[in-house]
Amino acid sequence: MHKEIYQKVLFHLSLFGVAMSILVGFYDVIFGYLMEFVHLLFEVVEISLDRVVEHFFETELHETQMIVFYILLVVGGFLIFFIYKALVLFWRSVSHGVQEDWFSFKSAITTDWQAMSTTSRIIWIGAFILVNYLASFFLF
């Protein structure tokens, strides 16, 4: 048996399940607070830039708003670009790790399945069908 591979897969599936449960159960609270925080942070940055531009360039309200808008537009564009690049690198590393884990898990399952007797295979198939049958009552 490949106990360490099964424990690793079970641990990752458990972490994924806990994360999904938290997101599904508390999405309104989590995203509400997150959006409120981002909005307050944006307002603080905007007010600070307004004061700095008014002080250094001695402009009126409309000119200050235009300058701050274009500064924030450029900064936002750079942030979106760098976040996109970071997400692409993160996705590549995660997908590569998941692919390696999947291949090791698949080879462990096939070697263990081939080593099982016919009785053990029937028991595993019956347990799989029973668990899915019982789970259908809770999910549907």
Across the range 97-124, mean pLDDT stands at 93
Distances (CA, A) of 10 to 5, 17, 36: 9, 10, 36
Q: Where are the beta strands (DSSP E) in 9-90?
A: none
Is pLDDT above 90 for 6? no
CA dist 68 and 43 (Å) reads 12
pLDDT for position 90: 97
Across the range 109-128, mean pLDDT stands at 93
Is the separation of the CB atoms in 53 and 67 below 8 Å?
Answer: yes
List pLDDT tens digits, range 23-69. Answer: 888 888 889 999 999 999 999 999 999 999 999 999 999 999 999 99
CA dist 57 and 49 (Å) reads 12
List pLDDT tens digits, range 72-108. Answer: 999 999 999 999 999 999 999 999 999 999 999 999 9
Is pLDDT above 70 for 140? no
Alpha-carbon torsion (112, 113, 115, 121), positive or negative: positive
